[in-house]
Structure 1
Amino acid sequence: MKHLSRLNKYFLKYKWWIIPGSIFVVISNIFGVVPAQVIGYAVDLISENIQLFNLFAGFDRQAIIYNIFSSNLLFFGLLVIALYLLRGLFLFFMRQTIILMSRHIEFDMKNDIYQHYQELSLGFYRRNNTGDLMNRATEDVNRVRMYVGPAIMYTINTFVLSVLIIWSMFDVNSKLAIYCLLPLPFLVVIIYYVNTLIFKKSGKIQERLSDLSSFVQERFSGIRIIKSYVREDYTRNMFEIQSNDYKKDSMSLVKVSALFYPTMLLLIGLSTILTIYIGGIQVMNGSITAGNIAEFIIYINQLTFPVTMLGWVTSLIQRAAASQKRINEFLDIPSDIQSNETAEIELKGNIRFDNVSFTYPDTGIEALKNVSFEVNAGEFVAIIGKTGSGKSTLANLMMRMYDVENGAINIDKKNIKTLNLKDYRGQVGFVPQEVFLFSDTIKNNIAFGLDAVTDEEVHTAAKNASVYTNIIDFEEKFETMLGERGITLSGGQKQRVSIARALIKSPKILIFDDCLSAVDTKTEEEILQNLGKIMAGKTSILIAHRISTIKNADKILVLDNGKIIEQGTHNELLSLNGSYKELYNNQLLEEETRTI
């Protein structure tokens, strides 16, 4: 239960649902136990009246006795029906409070988990797969809901009903009650043993389900690659293997439950046999009446439901505990990126790196080594280098997707860690290397970074990104729905829509992380010309592979193996006859080769 203690805050929040729900449970069970006493009294009345009826055989009084007897039976019958109707009414109230409360808790839990997911750093998502994250926020939460709703409801119901029945049994006859309840200690031992098995198996099943969800999500995302390489049969076989592992673990749990429930019913059956045998002896001795035996049999049958529910509830609690443990594992992970500052700032655009070193925590790769440079407000700075030189790492650190290990990043002469992160990122336009578009309209994808925009602003951003002409050629124009990850568009169109999404914010700092690689040279020049007009007096940082893209920059940084090996303007770097000049000559040679 230590894992489920995390839910106490929700129970406290919805205490005014639990309290009346518990009261309704008590009342409904009172109306469930009383009919047994009524029926026991009715059986005694029947046996007495039959004897009296036979005693007046041949006399006129026999008809009077028959009428009184019939009226009493009708009264008792109507009374039992009324009591069960009242029980049903309060059972309805019970479900309307406790089960509805569980849905509210489920809603709160999913929102809390999603909120926590959003606060976690980029490194967390590099270490965990999407399928597992989704499964913990959906399937695991659903299992926990079964605990806070049905499991708690039936636990209270079982406890109250058992107490009322056992108290009523001892009130009638202590000896008979003890014999009836004799199998219960064995049931407790069995439940304790089965609990451990269910907990272990439930945890393993949820892990298997996460693996299966991750596999399916990844394969659907990469369906084009699967079809291109004709690997449908291979992935189907892999899915079958994953499904079989899940099925084996699930069947193992089913076998435990399959043995558990018949065992409980067997113990209940033994109680019934003992009731009839011991009760029959006591009726012959005159200790109890036949109506008491009938009353006890009803009590035993009524105990069958709570005892059966005890096994089901035990299974629900153990599954919920296993799921809550998995949820807690992620909820207990603090974000690597902390921002407690609430004061808003207005960026000017000065960026300074002071001896910054960074190693990716999930891979151990040292991406940057003692990097120092300064970007003055309003400058257009370009970063170039070979693949794996650390260019994208610089962009991620500027966006504070990660925190530096050594050194410091200063924005407008303030350490980036001391800034209001939400406000800071709101004034920065970032176009990542890996373009991501949502399954939404083109308009909503462009306007994603703002709460409210006009159509004119969207159109202007699309024009500045040189994608407006392509969009209006679509039948639905800006209302065109994109497929998953923007699959409807070409690579170049996706990049330009992503650029439009950054430009519509009118950012104080604009960071392009090699986002012009999929556009042709003419379109690239058009975007850069528009960019020069939009970002006049604002800071622009462009990461690229092509020198033609960056040759007009105010400053160019050349990265290699995580270090800045050269910096200066295009002409200054060419005059150094170093790595930049070599890169420039190689690209010229490639272009000449393509033209031939």
Structure 2
Amino acid sequence: MSSLYYLNKFLFKYKRYLLLGILFIFISNVFGVMMPGVVKDTINDLVSSDLTNGDVSLGAILKIALMSAGLYVFYSVLKGIFLFYTRQTIIKMSRYIEYDLKNEVYDQYQKLSFNFYKKNATGDLMNRISEDVSKVRMYLGPGIMYTINLVIMSGLIIFVMLRVSPILTLYVLAPLPVMSVLIYFVSFKLNKKSNLVQSEQSKLSTFVQENFSGIRVIKSYIREKESIKNFNTQAVNYKEASLSLAKTSALFMPTIVFLIGLSNIITIYLGILQAREGLINAGEIAQFVIFINMLTWPFASVGWVTSLIQRAAASQARINEFLKETPEIINPSTEKVTFAKEIVFKNVGLVYENSGVRALTDVNFQIKKGETIGVIGKTGSGKSSLAYLLLRLLDPTEGSIKIDGKNLNELNIDSWRDLIGYVPQEHFLFSDSIRNNITFGLKASDIPDEMVFNAAKSAGIHESILEFPAQYETKLGERGINLSGGQKQRISIARALIKQPEFVIFDDCLSAVDNETEELILNAIQNQLKNSTSFIISHRISSIKYADRILVLDEGKIVESGKHDDLLTLNGAYASIYAKQKLSEEINTL
């Protein structure tokens, strides 16, 4: 329950809705408790009229019935009106809190650092902001509403019942606590089996999603039969879990009905005995029967509400775990950042926290304003790690990175990143139009078409876009699934170029294009970004051979540095890479 204390600030924020809801519940139950009193008075009036002697006219009986029915309907309507207002306050409050909590979680996700996303699965992040928040809302809405209703209704009803007959009240209420305990255990089992059903459903959905996403691989390796067999296994597990849940659910209503019937039998039997002794009358027996039935659902809801609270507490604990996570990268300043001279890496080292792998060791180099720096090396040599450090997605474990003499970790992150155009190695496109994907990094809402077209032309994708029926308004599928790898990369490049950035970082972003397209893009980049500073990471020498300086990385260290021709003269690691790539090109042309 301690995890739910976090929600108290929201309850205080929306206390007006909560207090009004409590007031409306009280008023609604007052009218609800008055309704059985109408039945009691009607029965007593009819009994006292001695209908058996025929002394009372049909008109008199009809008058009593109509007056009683009218009063009963009047109380019922008033009860319904205030019940409506109850839901319009407490349930509305729960929706407002759900909205605030989801926004708070999402805002926290935006603040958390790169390492956080390397440690946590996307599915888990989604569950906490959707399923877990929904379970918390059920506690804040129905959970609180039914709990308050139980307390107020049972208090009012028991008060009236005790005034009529304390002994009869004691006997007729005896089965209700037993019902609450039994329903609690049934609800506990239902909760466990419901979670199992959700788990199996999640596994089934994940299996189907993965198989549909990888349908080309399945067909290529002729694995359709195995896929169907595995699907059947997952489907059977889901079916068995669902059937088990249905069997347990079947115990719920019979348990309630049995205990309601038991309470009614006790009420009628003991009521008749007390009526013989003149301690109670016929109308009060009927009133007791109605009260017992009115108390049935509030007491039955104890187990259900307890289950809601248990699930909400577990879900809020999971949410709190992420909300309490402290971002490793924080923005220390609000001042605008300028880049006029140089970027200096001094004795920089980097160890990844989640894996303990050392990515960089004692890295020293400079990037002067307007320079083009190329970075090459084997897979895992630390090339992308340099890009992460420049973007300040990560902070170095050792050493420092300075921008015009100021430590990068002291600068305004947002302002610094605003100067950068970044094309990641793993290109990502949103499920939106091509135009919106290209203009994603721009803050202006009204962007001229010519600006978009020029960026696409520079990235070598303009002509391909015009071939689509909707051209720049073409809607992309998830992660741009309806585009080829090369098209995705070129749209990512256009997204960076349209910003006209002062500093551009290409992280092996030309790997999916042919040499001719690569040359076209590099020439366009040189023309469009001739005044910008470029940092080009690649495993192909053709992408970096025109750079002002080339850094050769090996196992996180800079082993060579210089221009293309100078590095070839050294006849070292760079020359070896060049020779292998040249030989590969010659073989491909045969």
TM-score, with length taken from structure 2: 0.93
Q: Which residue of 1 aligns with 2:77?
A: 85
Query: How far apart are residue 311 of structure 1 and its match?
Result: 2.8
Alignment of structure 1 residues 440-519 onto 2, 5 Å: 440-452=432-444, 453-519=447-513
Q: Whole-Å Cα distance in 2 between the matches of residues 578 and 396 of structure 1? A: 27
Deviations 1:403-462 (A, max 9, x none): 221222222222222221122112111101111111211111100101222211111111
Q: Whole-Å Cα distance in 2 between the matches of residues 285 and 562 of structure 1? A: 97
Query: Residues 203 and 319 of structure 1 are in contact (CA less than 8 Å); yes or no, is this contact kept in structure 2?
Result: no
Secondary structure of the corresponding residue to residue 402 of structure 2: strand
Does residue 5 of structure 1 match 2:5?
A: yes
User: Which of residues 37, 52, 63 is equivalent to 1:71?
Assistant: 63
Deviations 1:27-79 (A, max 9, x none): 1111111011111111111111125x61xx5xxxx36x553343122211111
Q: Which residue of 1 aligns with 2:361?
A: 369
Query: How far apart are residue 240 of structure 1 and its match?
Result: 4.7
Secondary structure of the corresponding residue to residue 443 of structure 2: coil
Q: Which residue of 1 aligns with 2:554?
A: 560
Query: Residues 332 and 409 of structure 2 are in contact (CA less than 8 Å); yes or no, is this contact kept in structure 1?
Result: no
Alignment of structure 1 residues 164-313 onto 2, 5 Å: 164-190=156-182, 214-242=206-234, 257-313=249-305
Does residue 585 of structure 1 match 2:566?
A: no
Query: Residues 260 and 311 of structure 1 are in contact (CA less than 8 Å); yes or no, is this contact kept in structure 2?
Result: no
Does residue 541 of structure 1 match 2:535?
A: yes
Amino acid at match of 1:295: Q
Q: Which residue of 1 aligns with 2:431?
A: 439
Q: Whole-Å Cα distance in 2 between the matches of residues 209 and 121 of structure 1? A: 31
Query: Residues 350 and 539 of structure 1 are in contact (CA less than 8 Å); yes or no, is this contact kept in structure 2?
Result: no
Secondary structure of the corresponding residue to residue 501 of structure 2: coil
Does the C-alpha gap of structure 1 residues 142 and 226 become closer, same or farther in structure 2, counting only changes over 3 Å? farther
Query: Residues 135 and 213 of structure 1 are in contact (CA less than 8 Å); yes or no, is this contact kept in structure 2?
Result: no
Query: How far apart are residue 318 of structure 1 and its match?
Result: 2.4
Q: Which residue of 2 aligns with 1:115?
A: 107
Which shows bigger deviation, 201-210 or 85-94? 201-210
Q: Whole-Å Cα distance in 1 between the matches of residues 453 and 102 of structure 2? A: 36
Q: Whole-Å Cα distance in 2 between the matches of residues 211 and 333 of structure 1? A: 28
Query: Residues 432 and 513 of structure 1 are in contact (CA less than 8 Å); yes or no, is this contact kept in structure 2?
Result: yes
Does the C-alpha gap of structure 1 residues 106 and 403 become closer, same or farther in structure 2, counting only changes over 3 Å? same
Deviations 1:1-45 (A, max 9, x none): 222222222222222222212211111111111011111111111
Does the C-alpha gap of structure 1 residues 334 and 344 become closer, same or farther in structure 2, counting only changes over 3 Å? same
Does the C-alpha gap of structure 1 residues 327 and 245 become closer, same or farther in structure 2, counting only changes over 3 Å? farther
Q: Which residue of 2 aligns with 1:19?
A: 19
Does the C-alpha gap of structure 1 residues 445 and 280 become closer, same or farther in structure 2, counting only changes over 3 Å? same
The unaligned stretches of length 5 or more in structure 2 are none
User: Which of residues 508, 512, 517 is equivalent to 1:523?
Assistant: 517
**What is the aligned length?**
588
Q: Which residue of 1 aligns with 2:143?
A: 151
Q: Which residue of 1 aligns with 2:334?
A: 342
Q: Whole-Å Cα distance in 2 between the matches of residues 254 and 412 of structure 1? A: 68
Does the C-alpha gap of structure 1 residues 224 and 22 become closer, same or farther in structure 2, counting only changes over 3 Å? farther
Query: Residues 369 and 532 of structure 2 are in contact (CA less than 8 Å); yes or no, is this contact kept in structure 1?
Result: yes
Q: Whole-Å Cα distance in 2 between the matches of residues 430 and 349 of structure 1? A: 20
Secondary structure of the corresponding residue to residue 400 of structure 1: coil
Deviations 1:481-507 (A, max 9, x none): 222211222222211111010011111
Query: How far apart are residue 377 of structure 1 and its match?
Result: 1.5
RMSD in angstroms over aligned alpha carbons? 2.4
**Percent identity of paired positions between Structure 1 and Structure 2:** 51
Query: How far apart are residue 260 of structure 1 and its match?
Result: 4.8
Q: Whole-Å Cα distance in 1 between the matches of residues 437 and 87 of structure 2? A: 43
Deviations 1:497-526 (A, max 9, x none): 110100111111100011111222222222
Amino acid at match of 2:551: L
Query: Residues 355 and 370 of structure 1 are in contact (CA less than 8 Å); yes or no, is this contact kept in structure 2?
Result: yes
Q: Whole-Å Cα distance in 1 between the matches of residues 397 and 192 of structure 2? A: 40
Query: How far apart are residue 247 of structure 1 and its match?
Result: 5.6
Q: Whole-Å Cα distance in 2 between the matches of residues 376 and 237 of structure 1? A: 60
Query: How far apart are residue 128 of structure 1 and its match?
Result: 2.5
Query: Residues 105 and 145 of structure 1 are in contact (CA less than 8 Å); yes or no, is this contact kept in structure 2?
Result: yes
Q: Whole-Å Cα distance in 2 between the matches of residues 519 and 569 of structure 1? A: 24
Alignment of structure 1 residues 345-424 onto 2, 5 Å: 345-348=337-340, 350-424=342-416
Does the C-alpha gap of structure 1 residues 219 and 423 become closer, same or farther in structure 2, counting only changes over 3 Å? farther
Query: How far apart are residue 206 of structure 1 and its match?
Result: 5.8
